[in-house]
Amino acid sequence: MSQHQASQEQKEPSIPSADGAGHTPVLVDAVVRYMRPHPGGIYVDGTIGLGGHSRALLRAESDIRIVGIDRDRTALDRAARRLEEWQDRVSFHHERFSELANVLRAEGVSSVDGVLLDVGVSSMQLDTAERGFSFRRNGPLDMRMNEEDETTAAELIRSASEAELVRIFRGYGEERFAARIARHVVRTRQERAIESTATLADTISDAVPKRFHVPGFHPATRCFQALRIAVNDELVQLSAGLEAAYDALHPGGILVVISFHSLEDRLVKQFLRHKEAACICPPELPVCMCDKKQEMKQLTRRPVVADAAEKERNPRARSAKLRAGMKLPVTNDPNGTDMCHPPACP
């Protein structure tokens, strides 16, 4: 994936990136810069994880309220401990971010100043062998972000048809050898159970021709990502979460999304472009018939990526891409700036 640094970005004083407990959130300076937390503001951290981004927002402006959401109960518990200093200003919800409307209803909140979605697997999940996300640490083939969900990666590998495996590996992993790998997985599972990350990684590696093995890149990388996306229904959840975030923002509110996968980034880019468009009629129509209004303003024409120093300091940041948009009042003004919420505008 190509990475571009937005040249127009204005650098502001750096916010400490580590939260003091070994957790380093990605692109934390950019998150704070775009969110621009202001006193009395309400912000949703839709994937609060270990609380790194929320901590940075609270350090930048302590007089804000954070609504934290995560489908991983273990992450929520750890975030609560790390944000204990602001416990009266942070609430925690064990839920998918696509259920944002229900969460805000429970909070008694009608609209918010900003929503952050840090999409994908967390460092904690990758580093915990028992969670089964990574082939680098042998463990049960699980991959559930919410350990209360029913379907694990092992169950999917055991029960999915060869055609379904091809669809997953090719569609979610963009794996060129999807058919060969799926065929080899089906053949292998007839001989022995594939229930550990090591067994699956070896099975995939055996299926990929040796001449296509790239030093420093494990042949199972794309398939593991694809399985994780399938197990957690991530792309469907992201699409629903983007719409839920837009609905929750008041005019002038900011949406910030960090993604780590080309399919996720494409969804975010298309969402922001659609919301910004003032017309979606086919180009051959002489006049607009769709009556669509501009709903958002993109704040990042190109994705914001980590600089060399952050990539060196935090390898997970290498594939991170941040996009941001501001909700506009739906008016006849094509610029949609008549009701911009000043404190939130970068």
State the pLDDT at residue 304: 97
Q: Which two tokens stand for residue 207?
A: 């299926």
Same domain for 51 and 184, yes or no, is no
Structural domain of 76: 28-124+234-344
344 contacts 116 by C-beta, under 8 angstroms: no
Q: Which two tokens stand for residue 180?
A: 């060969």
Q: Residue 275: what residue type? A: K
Cβ density class 170-185: b for 16+ within 10 Å, e for less: bebbebebbbbbbebb
Q: Does 11 fall in a domain?
A: no
Q: Is 186 helix (H, G, I), strand (E, B) or coil?
A: helix
Same domain for 273 and 203, yes or no, is no
State the pLDDT at residue 125: 81
**176 contacts: CB under 8 Å, gap ≥ 6:** none
Task: Return the sign of the alpha-carbon dihedral for residues 329, 330, 331, 332.
Answer: positive
Domain boundary, last residue among 177, 212, 232: 232
Same domain for 242 and 339, yes or no, is yes
Same domain for 247 and 326, yes or no, is yes
Q: Does 2 fall in a domain?
A: no
Quote the CA–CA distance of 47 and 215 in Å, as a whole number.
33
Same domain for 329 and 319, yes or no, is yes
Q: Does 174 fall in a domain?
A: yes
Same domain for 93 and 39, yes or no, is yes
Largest CA distance in the chain: 66
pLDDT along the chain (346 residues), means of 10: 34 37 80 97 96 96 96 94 95 96 96 95 80 89 93 96 98 96 97 96 96 93 96 96 97 97 95 88 72 89 95 90 94 47 41
The number of distinct structural domains making up the chain is: 2
From 54, 112, 100, select the one nearest 79 (Cα to Cα). 54
List the end-to-end C-alpha distance of the chain, in Å, as a whole number: 27
Same domain for 109 and 50, yes or no, is yes
Domain boundary, last residue among 200, 232, 264: 232
Same domain for 239 and 282, yes or no, is yes
Q: Does 94 fall in a domain?
A: yes
State the pLDDT at residue 208: 96
Q: Does 120 fall in a domain?
A: yes
The separation between CA 172 and the C-alpha centre of its own chain, rounded to angstroms, equals: 15
